[in-house]
């Protein structure tokens, strides 16, 4: 079955967790024991409605404060698709968790509180979803029950948001507006009787109709080698299989390939998925490939098709989303993890900070703090094989690891060598 | 039709995770409970490394209160795989006075496993422990990363987890830390059952409907056994039941069922309106039961 990954976005209290709880409830995905727990706690808190955010806010601290702190992954399915929704925090302080949720998603739902309209955090989250090139974005104008389901208010917000759309970098992103009430259920799964002026689809109808091929990232095939399989048993004495996941496109038996960094050529001899042989390795499948020639390939190397080489370079410029309280400064050293490849990197220069509220760029920067987004160039101690993020979502992204704390401190999207 | 490697996103993701573990860690171990999730993990690990053997051992933290069917099944599976099995017993920690056996009506050895697990991690210097936990099981689990770092005391710092972006798994740790790895994080209970059906994976017989001596308490079905405390007025009945999850006998409740084969089990899960954790007696203790156990190093 098809799996669609979706991330929510929007400011604190815009209703993200409530919306997800509502989807679960209206698709009958909440089991009776979970529903009972929600009913019980809602009653204890003295609410006269069901607080669906209780379905996803799983940490004690979250329930105490009534906010989401970390991403929760929620699952449900319909007859058509399986869904994985990342419930992300709206608080500015936890923007890194929002980036995390969006990084694996093909679609996003940005919530706006109809009373507040487009606010700074809406800009920021739209910016991040656009930066990450999430293909399909739903702008859910929420809490319509609190503005009397006013068409006028809906149109005002829509117009404000449309101004942002002119400024975005990734113009092919598909955007849909839907007036909803997460709390009451209007236009979430079921069509609302309160918004007769709205002729579009409900949120779930929209997601159900999304064409998976259209929201997938198709490009050119890249095969980063994760692990070399050498069984050394009697039956497989000389077997040397390169295990990895195929990204961007397909690879087939007989394809002429180049191994990077050695640039040695060979041909694909066999493609295994477990113990069965296949003619073609599908995009995103975890296969094991053997080659016609005995060439030296190890973890971190990459197989690509002849005539279709990525950039091979010891430096690059990227947009960085910084996620650590310790500042990033020119001259600092980090480990760059690019797919399964790790190299040491030095910050060459911070070119400028990008204000994610679309208010422009800031050239006078000496350091990056938590949640900053900036254009930065790096020098590496070894070449890596990359594409621009624009062309290849997987081969154009990386994470930064602090060599002392071992923490993941940033995410990067490569612009150019 | 073109002969392409088949594409089940969840299976491909799990295989990818297994390979990352083998490549990034020196001493990984697969925590094997004998339940359906860990059996599924074993199949995925086989797929990840074929035609080589699974490149790490299996470890069972034995509470001593297992269903005998699970143990027999475990031993048979390990023999077929040709991998090493490590067993560490909760009983030893009790005998050494490291943990105290609970007593009374709701006593269980489930939470006692933590000490034995942490001791074993230290004994063998394991740096990655692979487990079958899923995010859909429980709402604290829904917050868990795929690579989840634990400190020297096995503790989970839930408010300060490493961001996990794209497909990239950061397994860098300091000496003394270890990582819990969850390859089937994104699977639901139904995904697991459907996979078992499709792959024709053998599972212990207690997952299928069978006649068993039980008693009822708090709306749950408990096994009548020496390991489970039972009050005099709790009447023993004989009924057709099966288990949806298999842990320690004292913390696993049964469901009434006639589903005697995998197809009927899958159908039953599809139709069912109660979650699998609803049959876990250990989660009924409080709303934050799981989060608390995890902070202390529970699996
Ligand atoms: N009246 C009304 N209230 C809503 C609606 N949606 C959400 N709320 C309320 O808004 C408050 C915040 O909702 P949450 O779902 O926790 O918000 P959130 O976006 O998840 O917040 P963070 O996770 O902290 O960023 C709760 O009190 C909800 O009951 C709606 O459609 N109508
Ligand atoms: Mg929330």
- Determine which of A29-43, A88-102, B48-62, B228-242 has the lowest per-residue pLDDT on average: B228-242
Query: B148-206, pLDDT tens digit by residue?
Result: 998 777 677 777 788 999 999 999 998 888 999 999 999 998 899 999 999 999 999 88
Domain housing B91: 9-191+288-295
Chain B residues with CB under 8 Å of A397 CB are 165-166, 168
Whether the predicted model's global pTM rises above the 0.90 cut:
yes
**Are residues A270 and A366 part of one domain?**
no
CA distance B286 to B289: 5
The answer to whether position B181 is within a domain reads: yes
Cα B225 versus chain centre, distance: 22
Domain shared by B36 and B175, yes or no:
yes
Please tell me whether residues A263 and A380 are part of one structural domain: no
Q: Residue B178 belongs to what H/E stretch?
A: strand B178-181
Say if B90 falls within a structural domain: yes
Q: Does residue A205 share a domain with residue A229?
A: no
The Cα–Cα gap between B135 and B37 comes to: 12
Any atom of ligand 1 within 6 Å of the Cβ of A12: yes
Smallest CA–CA distance, residue A99 to chain B, in Å, is 8
Q: What is the Cα–Cα distance from A338 to A396, expressed in whole angstroms?
A: 8
Residues A318 and A233 in one domain: no
Q: What is the DSSP string of A11-23?
A: STTSSHHHHHHHH
Give the separation between CA A322 and CA B253, rounded to whole angstroms: 46
Using DSSP bridges, classify how beta strands A82-87 and A72-77 pair: parallel, antiparallel or unpaired: antiparallel
Structure tokens at A207: 């997601």
Q: Are A335 and A345 in contact (CB under 8 A)?
A: yes
The residue contributing the CA closest to ligand 1 atom 27 is A13
Please tell me which of the candidates B5, B46, B173 has its beta carbon nearest to residue A406.
Answer: B173
Looking at the domain assignment, is residue B2 inside a domain? Answer: no
SS3 A190: strand
Whether residues B53 and B163 share a domain: the answer is yes
pLDDT, one tens digit per residue, over B122-140 is 999 999 999 999 998 888 8
Q: How close B93 gets to chain A, by Cα (Å)?
A: 30
**Partner-chain contact B50 A288, CB within 8 Å:** yes
Does A344 share its domain with A385? Answer: yes
The dihedrals phi and psi of B281, each to the nearest 5 degrees, come to -65, -30
At residue B237, does pLDDT exceed 90? no
φ, ψ of residue B126 to 5 degrees: the values are -65, 135
Quick check: B3 pLDDT over 80? no
For residues A357 and A355, what is the distance between their CA atoms, to the nearest angstrom?
5
CB atoms near residue A36 (< 10 Å): 13
Q: Are residues A322 and A286 in the same domain?
A: no
Cβ A16 under 6 angstroms from ligand 1: yes
- Give, in order, the Cα–Cα distances in Å from A322 to each of A275, A328, A375, B62: 42, 8, 11, 44
Position in ligand 1 atom list of the atom nearest CA A142: 31
User: Contact at 8 Å (CB) between A83 and A76?
Assistant: yes
The answer, yes or no, to whether residue B84 has pLDDT greater than 90, is yes
Same domain (yes/no): B154, B15: yes
Label residues A78-99 b or e (16+ Cβ within 10 Å = b): eeebbbbbbbbbbbeebbbbbb
Q: How many domains does chain B have?
A: 2
Q: Is residue B33 part of a domain?
A: yes
Question: Are A291 and A386 a contacting pair, CB within 8 Å?
Answer: no
Task: Give the helix/strand (H/E) hosting B191.
Answer: helix B189-199
Structural domain harbouring A136 = 2-215
In a domain, B152, yes or no: yes
Given a cut of 60, whether residue B286 has pLDDT beyond it is no
Residue B271 gets which letter from DSSP? H
Residue B144 tokens read as 């868990």
Residue B107 is given by DSSP the state -
Contact B12, A217 (CB under 8 A): no
Mutating which of B139, B179, B200, B276 best tests the A interface, going by the most A Cβ atoms within 10 A? B139
Per-residue pLDDT reduced to its tens digit, A98-110: 888 899 899 999 9
Cβ A68 under 6 angstroms from ligand 1: yes
B254 and B182 within one domain? no
- CATH code for the domain of A143: 3.40.50.300
Whether the predicted interface score ipTM is above 0.85:
yes
Q: Which of A181, A215, A249 is the last residue of a domain?
A: A215
| B274 has pLDDT over 70 | no
Q: What parts of chain A have a pLDDT lower than 50?
A: none
The best mutation among A53, A96, A124 to test binding of ligand 1, ranked by most ligand atoms within 8 Å of the C-beta, falls on A53
Same domain, A235 and A368: no
Asked if B230 reaches chain A (Cβ–Cβ under 8 Å), the answer is no
Q: How confident is the model at residue B285 (pLDDT cuts 50, 70, 90)?
A: very low
Would you say B87 and B57 are in contact if contact means Cβ atoms under 8 Å apart? no
The pLDDT, as a whole number, for residue B198 is 94
Q: Are residues B115 and B262 in the same domain?
A: no
Distance CA A20, CA A40 (A): 19
pLDDT score at B278? 55
**Which residues of chain B make contact with A339, given a CB cutoff of 8 A?**
167-168
Domain count, chain A: 3
Q: Indicate whether B227 and B149 sit together in one domain.
A: no
Determine the Cα angle at B41 with ends B21 and B20, to 5°.
15
List, in sequence order, every residue forming a beta bridge with A224; answer none if it has no partner: A302
Is the sign of the CA dihedral B234, B238, B239, B245 positive or negative? positive
Q: Looking at residue B69, what is its pLDDT?
A: 82
Q: Say yes or no: B184 and B214 in one domain.
A: no
Report in angstroms the alpha-carbon separations of A167 from A108, A155, B96. 18, 19, 67
In a domain, residue B4? The reply is no
Q: How confident is the model at residue B106 (pLDDT cuts 50, 70, 90)?
A: low
Chain B hits for A100, Cβ within 8 Å: 163-165
Which pLDDT score, from 0 to 100, does residue A278 have?
Answer: 96
Q: Which of A305, A320, A355 is the last residue of a domain?
A: A305
The residue behind tokens 């030296």 is: A296
Q: Are residues A133 and A243 in the same domain?
A: no
Residues A134 and A24 grouped into a single domain: yes
Q: By percentage, how much of chain B surpasses pLDDT 90? A: 42
Q: Which of residues 240-259 of B touch A (CB under 8 A)?
A: none
Question: Which of B165, B279, B287 to mutate to test binding with chain A, by most A CBs within 10 Å of its CB?
Answer: B165
- Which residues are paired to A22 by β-bridges? none
A64/A165 same-domain check: yes
Domain assignment present for residue B184? The answer is: yes
Cα gap B226→B151, rounded to integer Å: 37
Q: Please tell me the distance from the alpha carbon of residue A93 to that of residue A2, in angstroms, as a whole number.
A: 34
Residues A253, A328, single domain; the answer is: no
d(CA B63, CA B88): 9
Evaluate: CB of A146 within 6 angstroms of ligand 1. yes
The CATH number given to whatever domain includes residue B109 is 3.40.50.620
Can you read off the two tokens belonging to residue B65?
């209160």
Check whether residue B233 and residue B173 sit in a common domain: no
Search chain B and give the residue with CA nearest A97: B163
- Could you report how far apart the first and last alpha carbons of chain B are, in Å? 44
- The verdict on A301 and A329 lying in the same domain is no
Distance CA B247, CA B35 (A): 7
Answer for the pair A76, A23: CB distance below 8 angstroms, yes or no: yes
Is the preceding omega at residue B51 within 30 degrees of 0, hence cis?
yes
**Residue B198 maps to a domain:** no
In terms of Cα–Cα distance, which of A94, A105, A98, A182 is closest to A137?
Answer: A105
Of A215, A247, A278, the residue at which a domain comes to its end is: A215
DSSP states along A46-103: T-SS--GGGGT--SHHHHHHTS--S-EEEEEE-SS-EEEEEE---SGGGHHHHHHHHH
Sign of CA dihedral B277, B280, B282, B287: positive
Mean pLDDT of B216-244: 78
| Residue B294 pLDDT | 61
Burial class (CB in 10 A: 0-12, 13-18, 19+), A273: buried
Single out the residue of A6, A11, A14 nearest to residue A125, CA to CA.
Answer: A11
The domain that holds A255 is classified in CATH as 2.40.30.10
Separation between Cα atoms, residue A99 and residue A102, nearest integer Å: 5
């Amino acid at each position: 079955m098809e799996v669609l990954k979706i991330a929510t976005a929007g400011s604190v209290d815009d209703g993200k967790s409530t919306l997800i709880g509502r989807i679960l409830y209206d698709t009958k995905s909440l089991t009776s024991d979970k529903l009972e727990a929600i009913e019980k706690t809602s009653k204890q808190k003295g609410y006269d409605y069901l607080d669906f955010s209780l379905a996803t806010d799983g940490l004690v601290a979250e329930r105490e404060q009534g906010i989401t702190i970390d991403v929760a992954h929620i699952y449900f399915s319909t007859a058509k698709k399986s869904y994985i929704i990342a419930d992300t925090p709206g608080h500015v302080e936890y923007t890194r968790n929002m980036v995390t949720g969006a990084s694996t998603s093909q679609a996003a739902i940005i919530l706006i509180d109809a009373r507040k309209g487009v606010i700074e955090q809406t800009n920021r989250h739209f910016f991040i979803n656009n930066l990450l090139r999430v293909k399909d974005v739903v702008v859910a104008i929420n809490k319509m029950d609190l503005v009397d389901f006013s068409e006028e208010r809906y149109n005002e917000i829509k117009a404000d948001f449309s101004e942002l759309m002119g400024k975005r970098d990734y113009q092919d992103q598909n955007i849909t507006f839907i007036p909803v009430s997460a709390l009451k259920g209007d236009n979430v799964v079921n069509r609302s009787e309160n918004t007769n002026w709205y002729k579009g689809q409900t949120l779930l109808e929209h997601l159900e109709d999304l064409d998976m091929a259209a929201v997938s990232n198709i490009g050119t095939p890249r095969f980063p080698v994760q692990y070399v399989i050498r069984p050394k048993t009697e039956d497989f004495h000389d077997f040397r299989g390169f295990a990895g996941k195929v990204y961007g496109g397909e690879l087939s038996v007989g394809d002429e390939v180049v191994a990077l960094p050695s640039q040695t050529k060979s041909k694909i001899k066999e493609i295994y998925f477990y113990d069965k042989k296949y003619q073609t390795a599908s995009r995103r499948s975890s296969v094991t490939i053997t080659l016609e020639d005995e060439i030296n390939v190890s973890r971190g190397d990459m197989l690509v098709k002849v005539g279709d080489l990525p950039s091979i370079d010891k430096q690059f410029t990227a947009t960085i989303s910084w996620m650590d309280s310790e500042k990033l400064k020119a001259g600092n050293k980090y480990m760059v993890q690019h797919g399964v490849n790790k190299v040491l990197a030095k910050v060459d220069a911070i070119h400028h900070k990008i204000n994610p509220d679309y208010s422009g760029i800031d050239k006078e920067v000496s350091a990056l703090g938590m949640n900053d987004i900036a254009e930065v160039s790096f020098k590496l101690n070894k070449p890596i094989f990359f594409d621009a993020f624009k062309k290849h979502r997987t081969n154009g992204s990386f994470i930064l690891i602090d060599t002392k704390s071992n923490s993941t401190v940033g995410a990067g999207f490569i612009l150019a060598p | 039709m073109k002969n392409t490697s088949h594409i089940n996103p969840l299976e491909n993701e799990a295989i990818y995770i297994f390979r990352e573990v083998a490549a990034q860690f020196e001493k990984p171990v697969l925590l094997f409970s004998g339940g359906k999730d860990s059996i599924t993990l074993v199949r995925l690990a086989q797929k990840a490394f074929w035609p080589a053997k699974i490149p790490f051992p299996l470890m069972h933290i034995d509470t001593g209160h297992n269903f005998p069917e699970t143990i027999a099944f475990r031993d048979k599976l390990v023999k077929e795989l040709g991998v090493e099995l490590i067993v560490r017993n909760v009983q030893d920690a009790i005998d050494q006075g490291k943990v105290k056996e609970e007593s009374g009506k709701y006593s269980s050895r489930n939470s006692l496993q933590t000490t034995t697990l942490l001791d074993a991690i230290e004994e063998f210097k394991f740096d990655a422990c692979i487990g079958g936990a899923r995010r859909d099981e429980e709402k604290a689990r829904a917050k868990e990363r795929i690579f989840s770092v634990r400190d020297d005391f096995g503790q989970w710092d839930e408010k300060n987890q490493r961001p996990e972006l794209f497909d990239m798994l950061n397994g860098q740790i300091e000496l003394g830390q270890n990582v819990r790895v969850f390859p089937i994080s994104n699977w639901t209970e139904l995904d697991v059952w459907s996979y078992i059906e499709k792959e024709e994976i053998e599972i212990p017989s207690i997952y299928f409907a069978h006649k068993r001596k039980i008693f009822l308490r708090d709306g749950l079905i408990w096994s009548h056994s020496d390991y489970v405390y039972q009050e005099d007025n709790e009447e023993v009945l004989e009924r057709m039941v099966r288990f949806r999850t298999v842990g320690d006998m004292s913390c696993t409740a049964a469901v009434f069922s006639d589903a005697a084969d995998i197809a009927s089990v899958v159908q039953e899960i599809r139709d069912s309106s109660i979650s699998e954790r609803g049959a876990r007696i250990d989660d009924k203790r409080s709303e934050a039961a799981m989060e608390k156990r995890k902070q202390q190093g529970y699996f």
